Amino acid sequence: MSLPLKNKVALITGASRGLGAGMALTLASEGASVMLIYTSASSTPKVESLISEITSLPHTPLATSVRTDLSSPSAPSTILSALKSWLGESFALDILINNAGTELNAPLGTITTDDFAKVYDLNVRAPLLLTQALLPHLATRNARIINISSVGGRFGFPGLGLYCSSKAALESLTRCWARELGGNGTTVNCVAPGPVQSDMLDKIPKGIIEMQKRQTPVENRLGEVDEVAAIVAWLAGEKSSWVSGQVISASGGWAMY
Active site residues: 149-150, 163, 167
Count of beta carbons in the 10 Å neighbourhood of residue 37: 28
Say how far apart CA 170 and CA 24 lie, in whole Å.
Answer: 21
Residues 126 and 69: their CA atoms lie apart, in Å, by: 9
CA distance 58 to 185: 31
DSSP per residue, 110-168: G--HHHHHHHHIIIIIHHHHHHHHHGGGB-SSS-EEEEE--GGGTS--TT-HHHHHHHH
> In angstroms, rounded to a whole number, what is the distance separating the alpha carbons of residues 195 and 254?
10
CA angle 187, 74, 148 (to 5 degrees): 35
10 forms beta bridges with 34, 95
